[in-house]
Amino acid sequence: MMMGNVLRIFESAFMQRQSGRMEEDTWQGYQKLIERGVSSSIFPLYWQLRREMHDHRFVSLVDTVAEHPDTRKMFD
């Protein structure tokens, strides 16, 4: 449940960035948290079970980060 709540916050931030309501500097902080989150031990299980609960654009972002953890600028 906690992982789901945290990812909803990240998803909301992502959607705000996509719509131009969030500054780049603020988004960079969220992006770093996403990068760290997908490397947590519980993330793969959560993502396998619940990824369909998230917006497809956010899923694409998270999948990119999970597959390429060295990615720095994404979906600007």
| Mean model confidence pLDDT for the chain | 89
pLDDT band with cut points at 50, 70 and 90 for residue 39: confident
Contact 57, 75 (CB under 8 A): yes
Burial class (CB in 10 A: 0-12, 13-18, 19+), 67: exposed
Tell me, what's the pLDDT at 69?
65
The model's pLDDT over 8-32, given as tens digits with 9 standing for 90+, comes to 999 999 999 999 999 999 999 999 9
**Residue 73 pLDDT exceeds 50:** no
Q: Secondary structure of 1-45 in the HEC alphabet?
A: CHHHHHHHHHHHHHHHHHCCCCCHHHHHHHHHHHHHHHCCCCHHH
